[in-house]
Amino acid sequence: MTSEKLEIHDELAPSAWVRRFAPLVAEGARILDVAAGRGRHARFFAARNAHVIAVDRDAEALAALRSVSGVTTRVADLEGAEWPFAGDTFDAILVVNYLHRPLLPALLQSLAPDGVLIYETFAVGNERFGRPSNPAFLLREDELLALARAELVIVAFEQGEVAADRRAVMQRVAAVGRARPWPPPLPA
């Protein structure tokens, strides 16, 4: 089964959600950008002195990151092969506009005990506005919250209809590992 991904990666501006919670990620952090496409988020964090691994199945899209300092690319089929980062840990994991449910446990296992998860993707109801419209690629009510809450401390969660660039139904979570000192700082 192939996931649907909204093709808005031509825009290099990171999502507002990612920008808002970027301060949770320490300078120099090791970050995994899942389904990175052309790397708008990889570029953003590399400019913040992070070491980013941008992974995507689209080698052509990743080629746009070839000359970006601080970014390493990896072409991988995240849906049809084994998790390529088994046994590896990251200070932060970013996922934007992508959902492959069988991958979710591996993401949490790859997050450092005090790491940051920033996840933003489409939810049920988005089919009214276009792609993705397949229920396999739309989060159910509170699904992302339940996944993160089981292992992490929730810093912020949103779900509902948005109209920033285009109308869509989204779920978003920013969460930190339980080894992070309490309380986590809230971004301005």
Q: Does a structural domain hold residue 122?
A: yes
End-to-end CA distance of the chain: 40
> Which of 50-54, 78-82, 155-159 is predicted least confidently?
78-82
Q: Does a structural domain hold residue 3?
A: no
The pTM assigned to this predicted structure is 0.91
pLDDT tens-digit series, residues 105-137: 999 999 999 999 999 999 998 998 889 888 889
CATH code, 153:
3.40.50.150
pLDDT tens-digit series, residues 10-33: 467 899 999 999 999 999 999 999
Per the structure, the count of domains in the chain is 1
Q: Does a structural domain hold residue 71?
A: yes
- Among left, alpha and beta (phi > 0; psi -120 to 50; other), residue 23 is alpha
Q: Which domain holds residue 119?
A: 16-177
Q: Does a structural domain hold residue 188?
A: no
Residue 186 CA to residue 167 CA, distance in Å, equals 27
Mean residue pLDDT of the chain comes to 91
Q: Does a structural domain hold residue 126?
A: yes
Residue 12 CA to residue 28 CA, distance in Å, equals 21
* Residue in 50, 43, 47 with CA at minimum distance from that of residue 29: 50
Q: Does a structural domain hold residue 134?
A: yes
